[in-house]
Amino acid sequence: MTHLIEVFLLSMVPISELRGAIPLGIVQYNLPIWQVFFVSILGNTLVPFCVLFALEKSPFIRKISKSLCEGTKKKHSKKFEIYRNMALITLVAIPFPLTGAWTASLCAFIFNIPKLLACGLIFIGLLIAGVIVTLLTLGIINI
């Protein structure tokens, strides 16, 4: 049970997310794949969704983050509007550094994607990322 909690907590951390939690649970702790997958998705879902909702509730944070990210929004808003849904899913689904639910939550906030839509798209991306990372961990997909 302790190892499962470690997997859960690691999946909540911005840099590792489920990309680090799934290999830890399967390879290091030899936990059942379905438990590792479920717990990693759950942990990786909770914090970014809370952050997404919290950003809207805090005028101070909203003001600072909007001013810091205004250049990014101006530079990429036209492209992002065209590919919004697929861009958000892809940003989460592809297991590269600095991609994932945390980054997608920030993008959804910057580009004013409705919270419920963003949560759904991020969750779809997490499911895809979870499958990819699990298959990579098991050696079914070789790079």
CB-based burial, 26-58: b 16+ in 10 Å, e otherwise: beeeebeeeebbebbbebbbebbbebbeebeee
* Residue 1, token pair as written in the block: 């049970």
pLDDT in tens, the chain (143 residues): 799 999 999 999 999 999 999 999 999 999 999 999 999 999 999 988 888 888 878 888 777 776 777 777 777 777 777 888 999 999 999 988 889 999 999 889 888 899 999 999 999 999 999 999 999 999 986 55
Q: How far apart are CA 129 and CA 44, in angstroms?
A: 11
**For residues 142 and 52, what is the distance between their CA atoms, to the nearest angstrom?**
34
The pLDDT assigned to 133 comes to 97
pLDDT of residue 72: 75
How far apart CA 21 and CA 105 sit, in angstroms, is 19
Contact (Cβ atoms closer than 8 angstroms) between residue 25 and residue 39:
yes
Q: What is the pTM of this model?
A: 0.88
